[in-house]
Amino acid sequence: MSPAVDASREPLVRVEAIHTYYGKSHILHGVSLEVGHGEVVGLLGRNGVGKSTTLKAIAGLVPPRQGRVLLEGQPISHLPPHKLARLGIGYVPEDRRVFRLLTVMENLRTGLDRHGVTKARKQALLDKVFAYFPVLAERRSQAGGTLSGGEQQMLASARAMMLEPKIILLDEPTEGLMPRMVGQIRQIIEVLHSEQVAVLLVEQNVPLTLEAGQRIYFMEKGEVRHEAPAADLHVGDAVIHQYMGV
Amino acid sequence: MDLGHLIQSIPFDQVLVQTVNGIVTGMILALVASGLTLIFGIMDVVNFAHGELFMLGAYVGVVTLAATGNFWLALVSATLVITLLGALIHVVVLRPLLGRDPLTTILATFGLSLVLQNYALWQFGPVARQIAEPFGGHFQLFYLDYPWYRLLIAGLSGAIIGGLWLFLKYGSYGIWIRATTQDRVMAQAMGIPVPLVLTSVFAIGAGMAAASGVLFGPLVGVNHAMGLDWVLKAFIVVVVGGMGSLGGSIAASIFISLLEAYAALVVSPAQAVIVSFVVLILTLLFRPTGLFVPTPK
Amino acid sequence: MSARQPVVFWTGFAVVVALLTAAPLVLPEFWGRFLTEILIWGLLAMSSDILIGYTGLVSFGHSAFFGLGMYGAAAALISVRPPSLWLALPYGLIAAAAVAAFVAYFATRLRDIYFAITTLIFSQIFYVVIFTWTALTGGENGLTFRRPPLAIPGLFSLRFTPEVMHWFVLAVVVLSYLVLRRITRSPFGMVLQSIRENEARTRAVGYAVERYKMVAVMLSGLFAGLAGVLYALQNQFAAPDFVYFLVSGEAVIYNVIGGIGTLVGPIVGAAFFLLLREGLSRFLTEFYLIPVGIIFIAIVIFLPQGLLGFARRWLNR
């Protein structure tokens, strides 16, 4: 993997002690974490500890009641999700959520059709994405709902890339995919990393996360409890057992 | 007299004339209903005030026509003015209700319909106004001098609906609207300004209603209560056609209007409206998702 | 419901009833009759609250129930000599119940929005039928008739003066309120509220949701019909206007203004609306609905709990 991030720079995304609620339920109890420019960070934890909610809070889909989210030092937690997408936060949710009735091309266009992007640059983006994911080029006129799970994952990631984001929030990309597809996910993360796009990866798949990530956070009961460089962790370590309960 | 005799006693050319009438009325109803379907299908908003937008469009048409003498100018200005009004209504009344119980939008638009109706009554009085046809001229349809104008409005309605369909299918805004319909949250995550999209859709629906109001104006008088009957029928069409289905509401509009036109041959027009009610009841009993949509699995 | 102490509640209740009983003796005749009308519309709104506030179903069909209660009573009073109060009541209630059963059968399979629209359309169906079936219903002109005496044959017979009418209406409305209150607090009422909160979950737990909804509609229709009977008695005529869906709309307005799900709220809402209308119509003649409509919209947006809800929150500070 690429060299460690320069720690003296302001992190790309900083989450400061955010609390979120769902009705009366207190979901996040003061989550804090950081993602540096171009860094791949993993977020591990059991089901229901609040990992997805953390991503949603960063994407603006679940505004925190307390605490702040900062993008390049600017507070963003009060902004609506569509503005955050324009500012460079890409989001690939659990179960992909491609627009099932739109074609592959139209799905990509939801991110591609932005103001201030020249036709040439749009074409370059498309060419790049089709080069990384030739299958999408083949299926470009097919409806999103007709693609296989792995192809939908590619489409969802490619779609987020159309925004030319600074960071992509990946929520359990291997969920529901056959084990041999995990390699594909690894490839997607590598592609993003080579484009200097930061990645915050929420996963249940520990080996993938340890391989792809540079730093790992561990969450439990709505809080971040532990942090360690990926290089120091191995599958089977006690700390993994503690937070994954496997 | 039994049914057999009844049917035989109606001259065939009357039936054909009613067929044409039915289609013409059906196309206008389709235009009104498609605005409603658009709003409902995309935004899950039941717009009780839709009939009033239709009515106000007709009034703007009356005023513009009186000032300029030009029918087409009246049509365009009514559409523009009411489109803006629709946007204003959405921003002021409906945006604050986003995310709340759908019941509240029913109530709010119902209140709006009362306000708009009485506003029209206040400004224009209870006496019906007229919009003159842009051109006269008839052609021989069997025993009748059938006005060209009626064919024109059927054609124009079709053209507007067709334009809407094209707009939705191609073009970036069409993609934005369709994405918002399918997954509002994900659309936002893709940078689509969803509140703006919702407001524009509502405004477009309003504009379409206004255009129908002006087009239909010459056929009936323009008065403050004209919206009520239309909105009722439009709702029936939307339910029978399958809520949210543009094609379905067009088919249902024509279907119901044809049936009513035929019924008007045997009963009074006031009673002919029962036809649409009966169709609704039958639809609810046997195909509640809509007559013209494929039954979901 | 609120956590008010029963003692406080019943004391307040007794005070209000006492005031309402004394009212026709102190108020000028116009206002006395006005108060009686408020009670009748309040009953209609209360019946509508069963559906909106407790079951979560917006219905625009109440005008059909109300109108048919009215016409049913009219039928009894016109066709049977001498006119009997105790015939008018069941005629009206049965007519309303029949309509409610009809509406219930179709509409309860539908969820929220479809239900609202369908009930509206049903109102209009009945309106058209009544309007055009002139031979039976007098068409546009409606039916007029004389008030029967308040009589129990063999025991006593009282003429329905405005005061007696008012007390009769008050008695009926108070009784209805108590009955409805009892029902909404019963296990049945709890199921209705659970349907309002989360229909899918209620169904999953095993309740036959459609059947509960149907009973709710019929219950609601019955009391709406009762209001219709009272209206017929009070005003001595029946007209198709009352079957037009706008009447249902007004009932819904009273509910929202007063506060849904409270039973008392709708009566408060009716009083507020009718007083506002009376007041404004002196200045603005027919266009009072414009400011009233605006106030209504504002309440929907800013005070979703209605006036009662707002007062409750304010008092709890």
B partners (3+ CB pairs within 8 A) are A, C
Query: Which residues in chain B are closer than 8 Å to C289, comparing Cβ atoms?
Result: 114-115, 117-118
Q: Does B98 touch chain A (CB under 8 A)?
A: no
* pLDDT tens track for C13-40: 888 888 888 877 777 878 888 888 899 9
User: In chain A, which residue ranges form alpha helices assigned H by DSSP?
Assistant: 51-59, 81-87, 104-112, 119-132, 134-138, 149-161, 182-194, 206-212, 238-244
Q: Closest residue of B to A95, CA-based?
A: B186
Vertex C243 angle, CA C242 and C249, to 5°: 85
pLDDT-above-90 percentage for chain B: 17
CA distance A103 to chain B (A): 10
B284 touches chain A (CB under 8 A): no
CB proximity list for C138: less than 8 A, separation 6 or greater: C238
Count CB atoms within 10 A of the CB of residue C313: 11
Nearest by CB to residue B284, choosing from C106, C129, C304, is C106
Token digits of residue B256: 């119901």
Mean pLDDT on B38-45: 76
Tell me the pTM: 0.83
What does the pLDDT look like over A49-62, one tens digit per residue? 889 999 999 999 99
- Kindly state the tokens that stand for A54: 């953390």
Check A91 against B194: CB less than 8 A apart. Answer: no
Could you give the angle at which helices C264-284 and C306-315 cross, rounded to 10 degrees?
110
Interface check B175 vs A, CB under 8 A: yes
pLDDT of B235: 81
Nearest residue on chain B to A104, judged by CA atoms?
B175
**Closest by alpha carbon to B57, among B237, B220, B208, B230?**
B208
- Rounded Cα gap, residues A87 and B191, in angstroms: 9
* pLDDT at residue A35, rounded to an integer: 93
DSSP 3-state of A98: coil
A109 at B interface, C-beta within 8 A: yes
What's residue A40's pLDDT? 94
Selection from A184, A121, A110 nearest residue A144 by Cα: A110
- Spatial CB neighbours of C235, under 8 Å, sequence gap ≥ 6: none
The shortest C-alpha distance from B76 to chain A (Å) reads: 29
Closest alpha carbon within chain A to B196 = A82
Longest CA pairwise span in chain A (Å): 52
* Residue C46, pLDDT score: 92
| Residue B189 sits at the chain A interface (C-beta within 8 Å) | yes
> C207 pLDDT exceeds 80?
yes
- Predicted confidence at residue B245, as pLDDT, reads 76
Predicted pLDDT at C1: 45
Min CA distance, B179 vs chain A (Å)?
A: 6
- What 3-state class would DSSP assign to B274? helix
Best B92, B118, B276 member to test C by mutation, with max C CBs in 10 Å, is B118
The nearest CA of chain B is from the CA of A99 a distance in Å of 6
**Residue corresponding to tokens 């809070």:** A57
Of C106, C120, C287, the CB nearest to B281: C106
Shortest Cα–Cα distance, C44 to chain B (Å): 18
Let me know: does B178 contact A99? Beta carbons within 8 Å. Answer: yes
CA distance B256 to B250: 10
B182: contact with A, CB 8 A cutoff: yes
Q: A106 to chain B: which residues are within 8 Å by CB?
A: 175, 178-179
Q: What is the phi/psi pair of residue A140, to 5°?
A: -60, -25
Q: What is the pLDDT of residue C150?
A: 73
Q: Nearest residue of A to residue B197 by CA position? A: A82
Which element (helix H / strand E) includes B25? helix B12-43
- pLDDT of C153 strictly over 80: no
Instruction: Write the pLDDT tens digit of every residue in C64-110.
Output: 899 989 888 888 888 877 777 888 888 889 989 998 998 888 777 77
| B118 and C CB contact within 8 Å | yes
- Is residue A122 less than 8 Å (CB to CB) from chain B? no
pLDDT attached to residue B3: 65
Nearest CA to C110 out of C214, C243, C223 is that of C214
Say yes or no: B192 contacts chain A, CB-CB below 8 A. Answer: yes
What average pLDDT score do residues C165-192 get? Answer: 89
The region of weakest confidence among A110-119, A130-139, B251-260, C286-295 is C286-295
Does A91 contact B189 at a Cβ distance shorter than 8 Å? yes
**DSSP readout, chain B?**
--HHHHHHHS-HHHHHHHHHHHHHHHHHHHHHHHHHHHHHHHH----TTHHHHHHHHHHHHHHHHHHH--HHHHHHHHHHHHHHHHHHHIIIIIGGGTTS-HHHHHHHHHHHHHHHHHHHHHHH-SSPB----S---EEEETTEEEEHHHHHHHHHHHHHHHHHHHHHHSSHHHHHHHHHHH-HHHHHHTT--HHHHHHHHHHHHHHHHHHHHHHHGGGS-B-TTHHHHHHHHHHHHHHHH-TT-HHHHHHHHHHHHHHHHHHTTTS-HHHHTHHHHHHHHHHHHH-TT-TTSPPP-
pLDDT band at A2 (very low <50, low <70, confident <90, very high): very low
CB contact under 8 A, C118 and B285: no
For A99, the closest of B179, B188, B191 (CB atoms) is B179
CA A58 vs. chain centroid, Å, equals 10
**Which of B39, B92, B106, B271 to substitute to test the interface with C, most C CBs within 10 Å?**
B106
Q: Which of B172, B182, B188 sits opposite A99 (nearest CB)?
A: B182
Q: Which residues of A touch B194 (CB under 8 A)?
A: 82
Task: Please answer yes or no on whether C290 and B115 come within 8 Å at the CB atom.
Answer: yes
Q: Cα separation of A61 and C250, whole Å?
A: 38
What pLDDT band is residue B203 in, cutting at 50, 70 and 90? very high
Rounded Cα–Cα distance for residues C69 and C63 (Å) = 10
Angle, nearest 10°, between helix axes C29-49 and C162-185? 20
Min distance B138 CA to chain C CA atoms (Å): 34
Give the neighbours of chain C: at least 3 Cβ pairs within 8 Å. Answer: B
**Residue A235 three-state SS:** coil
User: Does B84 score more than 90 pLDDT?
Assistant: yes
**Cα(A156)–Cα(A178) distance, integer angstroms:** 17
Q: How far is A235 from chain B (nearest CA, A)?
A: 33
Question: Going by C-beta distance under 8 Å and a sequence separation of 6 or more, which residues neighbour residue A113?
Answer: B172, B175, B176
b/e per residue C26-42 (b: at least 16 CB within 10 A): eeeeeebbbbbbbbbbb
Selecting from C112, C120, C294 the residue whose C-beta is nearest the C-beta of B115 gives C294
Tell whether B239 lies on the interface with C, counting CB pairs under 8 A. Answer: yes
Note whether B178 contacts A: Cβ–Cβ < 8 A: yes
Average pLDDT, integer, range B99-108: 80
* Distance from C-alpha of C29 to C-alpha of C37, rounded to nearest angstrom: 12
Nearest one of C122, C117, C124 to C102, comparing CA atoms: C122
| pLDDT over 90 (residue A42) | yes
Cβ–Cβ contact A145 with B under 8 A: no
